[in-house]
Amino acid sequence: MHDKGFISIWFFIGVLLTAYGVLITASGLYELVSPPLHKVVLANLHAGIWWGAVLLAIGLFYTIRFFPRKQ
Amino acid sequence: MNFFCALLVTNGKLVSLSPMDVVVIALYFVMVLGIGFYLKRYTNTGEEFFLAGRDMSAWIAGLSFVAANLGSLELMGWAAAAYQYGLLAAHWYWIGAIPAMLFLGIVMIPFYYISKTHSVPGYLKLRFGESSRALSAVTFGFMTVLMSGINMYSMALVLKIVLGWDIHFSIWVSSITVAAYVFLGGLLSAIFNEVLQFFLIWLGAILISVLGLIEAGGWSGMVHRIHQNFPGQDFTHLWQGLGSFSANPMGIHWTGIVFGLGFVIAFGYWTTDFLVVQRVLTAKDLRSAKMAPVIGAGFKMAVPFIVILPGLLALAVLPEKLVGAPEAAATGAYSYNEVLPLMLARYCGPGLLGLGITALIAGFMSGMAGNVSAFSTVWTYDIYRAFIRKVAPDQHYVSVGRWCTLIGVLISIGTAYLVMQFLSIMDYVQALFSFFIAPLFGTVILGMLWKRATPAGGFWGLLAGTVGSVGMWAWVKLDPSALRYIALSPDAKDMAENMYRALWSWIICVVVTVVVSLLTRPKPESELNGLVYGCTDVPKETGLTWYQRPLLWAGVVIVIFIALNIIFW
C-alpha cells in the first residue's frame, strides 16, 4: 500500500476518532457541570466522558502511529 | 430478510438530536467525501479502480469484506429479530456465516486468486464459458441495484422514524455521498470508507451492550429478567428448541438451519456473492487473500455482541413490550424494528447519540457502496467488455466504470421510489435475490472441485437451479398447502421455506450439472489449470512462521465457533 504513496487508512480513522473523542468528552463534561432536565438511563455513569476518552485515546494512537510524515 | 421489509412509517420520532450530534454526523460526511477526493488521483487504471490495485493487506481486505455485509438494516433488522426470536437470530452470524467464510478462505480463494479473475462471473467464463458468465452477470447486476434501492428506501424510512428526517432528503443526501466517493476513488475509496465505517459501527453500537449489561446485572441478570418478563418462553438458547417446527418461534427445524442456512445459503452468499468476494480479490498476495476471510470470520463471530445482545437486553430492561409492525401501526406501540434506536435513546446522551446514528448511517453507506462498486465491475467487465465493446483502451473501461457507478446509484434511487409506491415489491425482490445464490454456489463449487464438469453442464445446472427455485416459490404462492412438500412441514414459516427452497434448488443445480456433464465432452485438463482442484498447483506457504499460516487461524476461529455453540446451546 505504501509503495503508491497514499496516506494510510488508519490515519484517517485516527483523525476522525480523535475529533469524536474531543467532542464527546467535552459534551460529557458539559453535562456533568450542567445536568440536563431529561437524563438518560445510567446517566450517573457519565458514559460520554469515559467513552469519549476511549475514542480520543484510540484516535490519538492511530493518528500519531500512522502520521503521513512517518511513513 | 423479512424483518427488513416490515419497517413502519410513523408520524412521530423516537429521538431528537442536539447540535453536538449534528456536528458528529456532519464530520462523518466530510471525512468520507474527503477520502473519495483524496484517492481519485490513485485510481487511474482498471486494476486500481475496480480492484484497488490488488494491493490491500489481509486486515484491510478482511475488515472491508465483513463491513460490506454489515449494513445498517442488518443491524436494525437482526436486533429486531433478537427481540422477537431471542438467541436463535445468532444462527445467521455463526453457523450461517463462519464455516462458509473459512471455506472461502482456505479452499476457494486460491482458485479465484490464481485465475486472476476480476469477478465471480469472470471465473464462470474461464471455467464454463460465455453463456454461464452472461447468465450470472445479468442476474447479479440486476439484483444488486434493486437490492441497493430497497436498502436505501428502508434506511430513509428508519431515519424518518428515528429522527423525523424527510425521506427524500435521506435518500438523496446519502446516495449522492456514496456515488461521489465511489465515482471518484472506485473500489479503493469504497474499501477505505468501509474500514472506517467498520470502526464507527463498532464504537457506536457496542456501548449499548456494555451499558445494557450493567443495567441488567450481567448475563445472568439479563436471563433472569427475561424469564420474569416473558415466563415460559425460551429466548436464550441456540439449539434447544429446534427439535421440531412447532417448538420454536421461527417455525424451523434444525435440519433447515444446518443444511439450508449453514450449508447452501451461507456458502452461496459468502463464497459466490461478488459483493463480498470482490473485497478479498483486492488482497496483495495469496496469503493475504486467504487470511482476509479468516479475519472477517473472527469479527463476524463477534457481531452478535453489538446486534443480537441489544435485542436480548431490550427484552430484559425495556418497560414497554414491542410488537409486530401491523400491530404497532394499529395501536401506536413501538415495533420490533425500533428496538435498536430505543436502546440507543435509552443510554446515549448528546454526542454519543450522534455517534450511534452515525454508526447506522455508516452501515447503510458501506452496504450501498459495496453494491454499486460490485455492480460497476460486473457491468464493465462481464457485460460491456464481453458483449458490447471487446477491445478498448484501459482508460475507456475505467471511464465506463465511473459512469456505471452513477447509473447504478440512479437506478437504486429509482427502485427506492418504486418501492415507496408499491411496498409489496420488497417481498418479491428479497425472494428473487435468494433464487440466484444457491444454484450459483452449486455451479461454482462443482466447477472448482470436479474437473469433469463441462461448460454445458455448468450452464444448464445454473439455469435449472434458478428456474427450479422460482418454480417452487411460485408453487407455494399459488397453493400454500405446497409448503408441506417444499419445507417438509405445514408448520414451517417463511424463513424455513427459504432455507429448504435454497437446499432443493442447490440439489437441482448439482444433479443437472452432473448429468449433463456426464453426457457432454469435458474441457481438456490443460485448459483447467488455475481453475480446478487437481489441475492446479496451489503455491505452498513456504517461508511462513507457524503463526502466519491462515490454516492455523482458521482452526482458532472454528474452535471459538464450536465453543460459542456449546456455551449457548
pLDDT digits (tens, 9 = 90+) for B102-131: 999 998 888 888 888 888 899 999 999 999
Is B328 or B359 the better-scoring residue by pLDDT?
B359
Picking from B458, B208, B437, B211, the residue whose alpha carbon sits closest to that of residue B311 is B208
CA of B398 vs chain A CAs: smallest distance (Å): 19
Nearest-angstrom CA–CA distance, B354 and B204: 9
Residue of chain A nearest B31, judged by CA positions: A16
Q: Which of B27, B39, B211 sits opposite A16 (nearest CB)?
A: B27
Residue numbers in A near B343 (CB within 8 A): none
B530-546 as b/e: b if 16+ CB within 10 A: bbbbeebeeeeeeeeee
Cell of B508: 437441482
Is B86 or B514 the better-scoring residue by pLDDT?
B514
Q: Does residue A19 sit within a domain?
A: yes
pLDDT of residue B461: 96
**Cβ–Cβ contact B198 with A under 8 A:** no
Q: Which of B54, B56, B352 to mutate: most A Cβ within 10 Å? A: B352
Residue numbers in A near B204 (CB within 8 A): none
The count of structural domains within chain A is 1
Q: CA angle B142-B143-B145, nearest 5°?
A: 75
Residue B450 CA: distances (Å) to CA of B123, B462, B536 = 15, 15, 12
pLDDT digits (tens, 9 = 90+) for B222-280: 999 999 988 877 788 888 877 777 777 777 788 888 888 888 888 988 888 888 888 89
Which H helix or E strand runs over B502? Answer: helix B494-519
Contact at 8 Å (CB) between B335 and B306?
no
pLDDT digits (tens, 9 = 90+) for A14-71: 999 999 999 999 999 998 888 888 888 888 898 999 999 999 999 999 999 999 875 4
Cell of A31: 453535562
Q: Does residue A28 sit within a domain?
A: yes
Nearest-angstrom CA–CA distance, B236 and B261: 20
pLDDT of residue B424: 63
Q: Does residue A62 sit within a domain?
A: yes
Q: Which residue has the cell 502466519?
A: B548
Q: Which domain holds residue A54?
A: 6-70
pLDDT of residue B5: 34
Nearest-angstrom CA–CA distance, B29 and B18: 17
Superfamily designation of domain B2-538 = Sodium/glucose cotransporter (1.20.1730.10)
Contact between chains at B350 and A48 (C-beta distance less than 8 A): yes
Enumerate the H helices of B164-307 as residue ranges: 167-216, 218-229, 254-255, 266-272, 274-280, 286-302
Residue of chain B nearest A20, judged by CA positions: B24
pLDDT of residue B10: 38
Q: Does residue A1 sit within a domain?
A: no
Residue B72 has pLDDT above 70, yes or no: no
ipTM over 0.90: yes
Q: Does residue A16 sit within a domain?
A: yes
Q: What 3 state SS string does B312-341 have?
A: HHHHHHCCCCCECHHHHHHHCCCEHHHHHH
